[in-house]
Amino acid sequence: MDKTKTVKILGGELPEDHPLVKTGRSIEDGVDLMKSLMLENYKVWSNIPEDKTASECAESDVIRENMYSEFARKLGHLKGNKYIKITTGGRNSACGFIVNTHNDKKFKYGDVLKAASWCAPARNFPRGNVIEDSVEDMRRGLSWTGPC
């Protein structure tokens, strides 16, 4: 029996040394992990079975499953010079931001910030870091609505 430690994300298991799971990940992997954890939280919030995918939910007669599929389809990100905007429901709807520069006087590269508006982050304090935080730390600091 294989004794490799794994981390469960969206119903699948990834080894602890997977680029999405281990700390020191790239900013791109951090963005993907953040979006995956938001989708996972939406599934729990909606009481959707862990093993059901967004594409399977698209054809469902259950309204909450259709809503999950639509949320998954519209969850995205826009990369800018200073921030990566995490979008839900379209390009003009932001739920969070990730610092995308090494030259910010207050925040580190990869810091997660709440959205103050659809075009600007709340610059009071970081809610985590997509590069340095463990999966469990990120899971605690996120909901499907964005950073907590």
Residue bearing the bigger pLDDT, 130 or 18? 130
Supply φ then ψ for residue 37, to 5 degrees.
-70, -30
The predicted pLDDT at position 32 comes to 95
A 10 A CB-CB count for 132 gives 16
Residue bearing the bigger pLDDT, 144 or 3? 144
**Residue 21: is its pLDDT beyond 90?**
no
- Say which range, 2-11, 22-31, 105-114, has the weakest mean pLDDT: 2-11
Query: If you average pLDDT over every residue of the chain, what do you get?
Result: 92
Exposed (0-12), middle (13-18) or buried (19+): which is 3, by Cβ within 10 Å? Answer: exposed
Instruction: Compute the average pLDDT of residues 96-106.
Output: 96
Instruction: Compute the average pLDDT of residues 76-94.
Output: 90
CA dihedral over 51, 32, 144, 118, signed as positive or negative:
negative
Instruction: Compute the average pLDDT of residues 74-97.
Output: 91
